[in-house]
Chain A
Amino acid sequence: MNERAVVQSAQQGNPEAFRMLFEQNRQRIFSLAFQYTKNAEDAEDILQETFIKTFNFLDKYQIENDTSFSSWVYRISINCSIDYLRRKKNKKEDFSDWDTVEKTYSDDNRLSPEHSTRFEELREKIAVLVEKLSPRQRMVFILKHYQQLSIKEIAELLDCSEGSVKKQLFRAISAIKNPLKKYLWEKDYGLQKI
């Protein structure tokens, strides 16, 4: 059964067909959501929100459309992820400086002294920097750097211009690389003073 036939069946109210669509797309969406949030529970929430929204708008999807169903759902999941993070960010305290970040990590025991390696430490630092990006910048960075999509594809998924994606990407990379400069030099990660 091809995707088109499954979608048609789901649109006619077949619950099994909708479950098949869920099974076909769940891994890709969950992976993106996990890379985006760095949290499995949040990623599961995003996955659920995505498919509930997909169900609600299923009759709006046109099979004759150029966009495949997978791309359509992926687009919904991107919007759900950005919205989810925005909601979460509004609730969460904002990290103001490195000290707060360090304190939070040590309080959380996320970076216990026994298991702390430079690599782990660096990964945590990058995670914090990525976390500090705006929801949209973070999505552009994840789609480009981890999902390795082209600028054109990202622009289509986010429904914006390629120029806008390039700007967001530049800001995201700058927001990560500039604070890392001092840190990488201090920790001697093979960088020469620049």
Chain B
Amino acid sequence: MACKKFKEKIILHLYGELDQEDSEKLMRHVKECVECSEDLEYTKKVFHVLDETKTEEVPEANWEKCWGTIDEKIQRKERKQKRYLLFPKWAYASAALIIVFVVGLIIGRLVFHPVQRISIPIEGTQSALYPSIQEHFESLKPVLVEYANYTASAEDGSITVDKDLIRNLIIQNILFKRMIAEKNPSVKQLLEDVDLVLREIANHEEDDTDSISMIKELIQKRGILFELEVSKTI
């Protein structure tokens, strides 16, 4: 154990790294210990061999080539830095984040909340409402046809109207008009025209031929009967 420590000290001693006290201790031990004495002698010889063989000349380096490589790498780094100042990394990172967010949003909406087709509720309502409106239109037709075919020169120049029926038709017409509201403008317009005609019918006297002629004209001008026929194809 002691010898191992002294062997370490032999190397330091030969390098001149041992203080005087330790050197003296080592020398005293070496005088008494054959193994350490031999080790000291051998290590001295190895140091001698190492010194002898270290004379290998350091060759001349290619300084220009070395500097060229260094300079090129420095220039490249500086160019990179300039590019970084123009488009710093955080800009790329932010752009990437925004893209990821937007793509995620789109995918999320498509997968988890599919975009519902924007449909005019009337189409849905219409499917239920339409037969009733058609029925309403059908019940209007005999009345309107009678007025449309009115001829003032006929024997009986008056039209007898069932006022209750007309009142019911007006109420029905108003209801459909509200239900349709703005959802189907063409049907709404037709119902408004019908409303106007029905009110005139409800208000005129049986023998008021002028009013009857005016109603006839109104039905014809607004093409109400034609519109009622067309509405079947909706």
Contacts and interface: CB of A to CB of B under 8 A. Distances in A.
Contacts of A44: 61-62, 65-66
A101 to B, nearest CB: 16
Contact of B66 (A47, A55, A144, A181): A47
B229 interface: no
Contacts, number: 87
Given A44-B65, A48-B69, A191 B8 contact: no
Given A122-B53, A184-B45, A26 B58 contact: no
B61 A150 contact: no
B69 to A, nearest CB: 5
B227 interface: no
A26 B63 contact: yes
B61 A176 contact: no
A141 B11 CA distance: 12
A19 B56 contact: no
Given A145-B54, A170-B8, A52 B70 contact: yes
B58 A191 contact: no
A15 B12 CA distance: 44
Per DSSP, chain B at the interface is: helix
Interface residues on B, range: 20 to 34
B41 A194 contact: yes
B11 A170 contact: yes
Interface of B: 7-8, 11-12, 15, 17, 38, 41-43, 45-46, 49-50, 52-54, 56, 58-59, 61-63, 65-67, 69-71, 73-74, 77
29 contacts: A15-B71, A22-B67, A26-B61, A26-B63, A30-B61, A35-B58, A40-B59, A40-B61, A44-B61, A44-B62, A47-B61, A48-B69, A48-B70, A51-B70, A52-B70, A52-B73, A56-B77, A119-B52, A122-B53, A123-B56, A151-B15, A166-B12, A173-B43, A173-B46, A176-B46, A177-B42, A177-B46, A184-B49, A191-B45
